[in-house]
């Protein structure tokens, strides 16, 4: 059941990251570039958790 939340959070983080990049990193601000890197890395970590949960769910069916 938590798999659904991890997937939704990843999509939200990618949307935020896409918006940050499309804004031109707020006029090329170094801080926003760093935020983009950390949000993206967090999204990938949660995506890994999402994959593990999805795999576990599949094994129960
Ligand atoms: C898995 C998610 C993501 C990760 C780990 C990630 C990571 C990064 C990193 C480390 C940089 C370099 C930041 C810097 O200049 O210090 C970067 C740049 C950039 N990212 Fe992402 N990003 C992710 C998702 C996205 C998404 C969803 C978009 C747009 C839809 C995007 C668009 C860009 C753009 C346009 C740049 C600038 C490239 C340049 O300066 O030449 N990224 N990203």
pLDDT in tens, 22-60: 999 999 999 999 999 999 999 999 999 999 999 998 898
Q: Is residue 41 lining ligand 1, measured as CB closer than 6 Å?
A: yes
Confidence category of residue 61, pLDDT binned at 50, 70, 90: low
- How close are the terminal C-alpha atoms of the chain, in Å? 14
Q: Is the CB of 6 under 6 A from ligand 1?
A: no
Report pLDDT for 3: 85
CA of 9 to the centre of ligand 1 (A): 18
Its pTM stands at: 0.90
Contact 40 CB / ligand 1 (< 6 Å): yes
Predicted confidence at residue 38, as pLDDT, reads 98
**Rounded distance from Cα 48 to ligand 1 centre (Å):** 18
Query: Quick check: 9 pLDDT over 90?
Result: yes
Looking at the chain, list the stretches that DSSP marks H as alpha helix, in order from N- to C-terminal side. Answer: 2-22, 24-28, 30-60
Can you give the residue ranges of every domain in the chain? 1-59
Longest CA span, the chain? 49
Q: What is the pLDDT of residue 5?
A: 95
């Amino acid at each position: 059941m938590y798999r659904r939340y991890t997937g939704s959070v990843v999509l939200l983080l990618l949307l935020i990251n896409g918006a940050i990049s499309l804004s031109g990193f707020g006029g090329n601000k170094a801080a926003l570039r760093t935020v983009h890197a950390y949000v993206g890395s967090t999204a990938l970590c949660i995506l890994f958790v999402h994959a593990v949960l999805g795999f576990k769910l599949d094994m129960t069916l």
